[in-house]
């Protein structure tokens, strides 16, 4: 038996390894996408950027996906559906996980330094000490490999997760915000250059993103 401290160290190590796999697999995928673009004459650029030890980004078309590993270890709440599974009931230590978040932002938000713009958490990947994983996410991501007892982090599963994140992001369109949300503009905002106004841009600005579950 491992002490809780040792268990959390194992979880952290497994999550670091999983995040490193996300990083390397994403780089490989971007190289493949770029090669295919050149061969088929497409003009959609894919770019990779490191943002530190625990973050990296993937940019394509008008979107950015940011992958971020949390440095702490978590446990699911008692009410979470995962806690009711035989996999966890057999060994409660399996419920301790590291977390990798996947956020979607507009590329222009960074390009034009629109600090007030919104990004969206489209998925989070929980990884336990045995490198089993569970995903909570929107649409394509939420339907991926949610069998905690059998799903293992490896090159193939990471590739599927990244592909699904790209697919969801591509289908997650920028909607015109409701008129009443943007009808008032201050003098200060109008005196500021357009791209740096405090007016917020987001794909679901003025809409309930939480309702987007199908």
In degrees, to the nearest 5, what angle opens at C-alpha 19 toward C-alphas 15 and 23?
Answer: 170
| Weakest mean pLDDT among 105-114, 141-150, 191-200 | 191-200
- Asked if residue 36 has pLDDT above 70, the reply is yes
From CA 162, how far away is CA 164, in angstroms rounded? 5
Determine the pLDDT at residue 178: 66
pLDDT tens-digit series, residues 121-144: 999 999 999 999 999 887 656 555
Determine the pLDDT at residue 208: 47
Query: Facing residues of 49 across strands?
Result: 57
| Range of the structural domain that residue 48 is part of | 4-173
Task: Give the residue from 15, 198, 169 showing the smallest Cα distance to 97.
Answer: 15
Residue 117 lies in a domain: yes
Determine the pLDDT at residue 115: 83
Determine the pLDDT at residue 1: 53
Determine the pLDDT at residue 117: 82
Task: Give the residue from 25, 61, 36, 68 showing the smallest Cα distance to 46.
Answer: 61
- Asked if residue 201 has pLDDT above 80, the reply is no
- Asked if residue 202 has pLDDT above 90, the reply is no
From CA 25, how far away is CA 84, in angstroms rounded? 32
Residue 200 lies in a domain: no
pLDDT tens-digit series, residues 38-69: 878 777 789 999 999 999 999 998 999 999 99
Find the farthest-apart pair of alpha carbons in the chain and give their distance in angstroms, rounded: 65
- Asked if residue 171 has pLDDT above 90, the reply is no
At 2, the pLDDT band (50, 70, 90 cuts) reads low
List, as own/partner pairs, every contact residues 34-37 make where C-beta atoms lie below 8 angstroms and the sequence separation is at least 24, other chains included.
none
Residue 180 lies in a domain: no
Task: Give the residue from 83, 69, 62, 80 showing the smallest Cα distance to 11.
Answer: 69
Task: Give the residue-averaged pLDDT of 162-173.
Answer: 88
User: Higher confidence at residue 3 or residue 202?
Assistant: 3
Residue 74 lies in a domain: yes
Count of beta carbons in the 10 Å neighbourhood of residue 207:
14
- Token digits for 21? 């796999």
Task: Give the residue from 115, 116, 124, 117 showing the smallest Cα distance to 97.
Answer: 124
Residue 207 lies in a domain: no
Determine the pLDDT at residue 193: 57
Domain count, the chain: 1
Determine the pLDDT at residue 173: 73
Residue 190 lies in a domain: no
Q: Say if residues 102 and 141 touch (Cβ distance below 8 Å).
A: yes
Residue 16 lies in a domain: yes
Residue 17 lies in a domain: yes
- Asked if residue 213 has pLDDT above 50, the reply is no
């Amino acid at each position: 038996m491992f002490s809780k401290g040792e268990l959390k160290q194992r979880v952290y190590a497994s999550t670091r390894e999983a995040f490193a796999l996300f990083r390397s697999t994403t780089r490989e995928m971007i190289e493949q996408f770029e090669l295919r673009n050149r061969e088929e004459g497409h003009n959609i650029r894919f770019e990779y950027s490191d943002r530190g030890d625990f973050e990296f980004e993937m940019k394509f078309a008008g979107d950015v996906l940011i992958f971020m590993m949390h440095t702490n270890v978590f446990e699911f709440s008692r009410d979470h559906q995962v806690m009711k599974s035989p996999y966890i009931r057999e060994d409660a230590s399996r419920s301790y996980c590291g977390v990798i978040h996947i956020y979607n932002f507009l590329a222009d938000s960074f390009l034009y330094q629109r600090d007030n713009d919104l990004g969206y958490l489209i998925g989070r990947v929980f990884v336990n000490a045995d490198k089993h994983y569970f995903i909570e996410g929107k649409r394509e991501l939420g339907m991926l490999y949610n069998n905690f007892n059998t799903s293992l982090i490896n090159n193939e599963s990471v590739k599927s997760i990244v592909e699904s994140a790209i697919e969801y992001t591509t289908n997650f369109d920028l909607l015109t915000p409701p008129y009443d949300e943007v009808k008032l503009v201050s003098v200060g905002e109008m005196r500021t250059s357009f791209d740096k106004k405090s007016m917020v841009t987001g794909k679901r600005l003025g809409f309930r993103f939480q309702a987007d579950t199908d």
